[in-house]
Structure 1
């Protein structure tokens, strides 16, 4: 499932990362409670008696076109098939741009906050799937009456975790002119800040089925039970059509691997309990091995690591005797 909560969820995950890091840092304990907010800078005012504060503000969202085009090309057969479905739209890959600002009312508070936060982010350049899930679970339970917690409850933590998958957080070190321009746009009183870029977050539509089954958010282990020729009374030779019977055979992308080859075959028909595909013409006679390979169309990072494969099933490929060979034997 893909929905519009991904941006808000990512901001919440980022904020939670900062809060946890500050709490665990003993060197900052002398500052007392440090407030972490996600407000526009022009909404923040800090006085003499106010507590130190970090503010994380999303100031820009940009499209990651390299990811969009790369994945569209990679999954071209499935994308072409999906494009014929009215509601099947590839997710939009986004980069999120944040400015992180430190506010203090005593000497060195601002510098200490920025220094320890930059150290924390340098040590956490990638947020894993497990870290994102834990942060979203925390957000969903810490304040159940909160706006985001209620929105998460309407979908699921697992669905949002899948959209965010694994994200990278990298510093974007602006020079004086770039930072000045940014703060002019923000119309707030300047404070020492650092910009961060988060990539990638995905937003898309509800995905309709690509074949006869529905689109799956998670990959189930496919299992092959038997392989027969189509029609069933014929011998299996190069170029034959085969039917694979089994369980959990349908996924976002279902492909077939012959004899552990790197290149995968695209089936003609995919159902949850059977797959119809055609053998290549250049196979040599003998024992052949088949595996069903599942990939996810809407996972964009480390896609090879997301493959799930079935057990191997074997069949015998009979030789093809052509007319010229028969004539030569007769001579």
Structure 2
């Protein structure tokens, strides 16, 4: 194919073709000049009969644009060449000494006859126009075809040239291929197709489809250690785990939480599963892999010898588990401060709000340092200023990234507020 000289090569080849062929057809045009100027300056320094060849537009060739690049082997990828259609305007002029419109008409007729009979530019013509251009080596020949233009189209063109309209003929020259400068990507040979060279594996049957993760008593969120019901279709506990991915985006230099996979058990209803986010008091691993807030949950089924199958993702809210210190209920004077612990730990950059009844309070979060003793099991500490509320018991909730702690106990005959999450204002 060719370099960026390709357009100039085609223009020069067309000019040479007209310059050498048209005078041979008509002796009256023996003094013919062929220029490649804009129409407004086509006659400057030219007094005899002339033809002006003007490139007035280009268009991308849709057919070649969607073709694989030439000389690309199967399995390789490369950028296709720039494929262009060139639009030319051929305008004829007579002699200036007398009224020579007839001469211009003869010149135009001869030019159109040449382009009609010579509809393909040969490799020799392209090479002779400009050496070392490589246009002659492209796989597609350069063809010349008439380009119909209405009188309105011609009027708009000549108005843009800001000169008087002359009778002209338009042609499309196609296709000109310009090599891409992006390197091709030649992949190494394939040594095996999957494990044991067993090729592509196809898994038949529908994947699990999750509908929701339902916390106990259909609450808005669940705390760690509580069973959560997984609802959906095509659910099975065999070879399946529930993958929890935190939506928390940490501040540097903190790292995002890695996804956590928890094995479910069969539910009480057909087609249901039960999953329990690990209790921090039982599973020390959970301290570094959970934070309060929102998660996405998906079912991952790994059947031995087959690819893993991933379900859709649904939302899950993990509530912070909080306790006011030093005792329950904590007694605080008006305008004082109170402290609560939160597990799992709160991440840097999480949005934290303390609510006393329904009144927000300013809060400060403190986390242990990685080198502190007992770091792996030490919760976050949240200190807040008690708002101006009437004396008496007030329920405290901690809201982390929009997920509230659960201040209710369900151990009695009727639900009751948890004394460990209440302050007694005196």
TM-score (norm 1): 0.50
More contact order relative to length (CA 8 Å, sep ≥ 6): 1
| Aligned match of 1:42 | 40
Question: 2 CA distance for matches of 1:55 and 1:41?
Answer: 7
Distance 1:92 1:187, change over 3 A: same
Match of 2:352 in 1: none
Structure 1 residues 211 and 120 mapped into 2: Cα distance closer, same or farther (>3 Å)? same
Instruction: Look up the SS of the partner of 1:14 in the other structure.
Output: helix
Alpha-carbon distance, 1:43 to partner = 1.3
| 1:123-181 deviation line (CA, Å, top 9, x unaligned) | 11222xxx2323432x34xxxxxxxxxxx4xxx15x23124841111111222111111
Indicate yes or no: 2:76 matched with 1:81.
yes
In the alignment, the residues of structure 2 paired with residue 189 and residue 164 of structure 1 have an alpha-carbon distance, to the nearest angstrom, of: 41
Name the CA shift for 1:163/1:187 in 2 (closer, same or farther; >3 Å).
farther
Higher strand share: 2
Task: Quote the Cα distance in structure 1 between the aligned partners of 2:142 and 2:89.
Answer: 17
Counterparts of 1:101 and 1:17, CA distance in 2? 15
Distance (whole Å) between structure 1 residues aligned to residue 109 and residue 171 of structure 2: 14
Q: Deviations over 1:184-215 (max 9, x none)?
A: 122232111000001100112246466599xx
Structure 1 gap segments, 5+ residues each: 83-87, 141-151, 214-266, 270-331
- Are residues 1:176 and 2:151 paired? yes
Aligned twin of 2:124: 133
CA distance in 2, matches of 1:8, 1:98: 13
- Unmatched 5+ residue regions in structure 2? 192-426
Bigger radius of gyration, 1 or 2?
Answer: 2
Contact 1:2-1:206 within 8 A present in 2 as well:
no
Aligned partner of 1:108 in structure 2 is 102
User: What are the equivalent positions in structure 2 for 1:15-94 lying under 5 Å apart?
Assistant: 15-25=15-25, 28-45=26-43, 50-69=47-66, 71-72=67-68, 78=73, 81-82=76-77, 88-94=78-84
User: Does the aligned pair in 2 maintain the 1:59–1:98 contact within 8 Å?
Assistant: yes
- After the TM superposition, which residues 250-289 of structure 1 pair with which residues of structure 2 at under 5 Å, given as runs? none
1:98 to 2:88 alignment: yes
What is the DSSP-based 3-state SS (H/G/I as helix, E as strand, rest coil) of the residue aligned with 2:86?
Answer: strand
| Local SS of the residue matching 1:173 | coil
1:42-87, Cα deviation, whole Å (9 max, x unpaired): 112369x910010000000110112211x23x98x848622xxxxx
- Which structure carries more helix by proportion? 1
Match of 2:179 in 1: 204
> Hey, what's the Cα distance between the residues in 2 that align with 1:118 and 1:201?
21
Q: Measure the CA separation in 1 of the matches of 2:23 and 2:74.
A: 45
Give the 3-state SS of the residue equivalent to 1:58 in structure 2: strand
Residue matched to 1:308:
none
The alignment yields a C-alpha RMSD, in angstroms, of: 3.2
